[in-house]
Amino acid sequence: MVYNLVRDASIKEIKAAGMEGYYADHDKALYFVNGDGVPWTASYIQSKGDPIADLNEDLAAEQKARATYEYLIQLSDDPGVTKTLRWLREREIVHYQRFGETLDHIYDYYSKDHYYFMDGK
Ligand SMILES: [Fe+2]
């Protein structure tokens, strides 16, 4: 979607959008940066190895994505872009719900006694 928005932009339009720095470094190629131009890195996500901690991290990430889509919808004046952003926002809500259900399963699992048997070898 982002590429489709910029692929036919003229140099004049790129300058008017304040994207000349981006264009100088990346042409019109996709290069993942935040709203301040800071490149995406894997340090934005966490993995602790503990299912409860990791699922809560996932839940937070889904809510942050949903909120970002809502802000982008407020900024959009293109009906096609807005429609796509609304669909993506709905997907984040579904992802949040699925992670929440998984977290419920984990809590249920941890709330029960577990017995382990050794076969004597
Ligand atoms: Fe998601």
| pLDDT tens column, 23-69 | 999 999 999 998 888 999 988 888 999 999 999 999 999 999 999 99
Contact 20, 14 (CB under 8 A): yes
pTM value?
0.81
Cα 59 to ligand 1 centre (Å): 9
Q: What is the residue type of 24?
A: A
Cα 54 to ligand 1 centre (Å): 14
The pocket of ion ligand 1, defined by CB under 5 A, consists of 62, 92, 95
d(CA 69, CA 67): 5
Contact 9, 17 (CB under 8 A): yes
Contact 59, 96 (CB under 8 A): yes
pLDDT tens profile 59-115 = 999 999 999 999 999 999 999 999 999 999 999 999 999 999 999 999 999 998 877
Cα 26 to ligand 1 centre (Å): 27
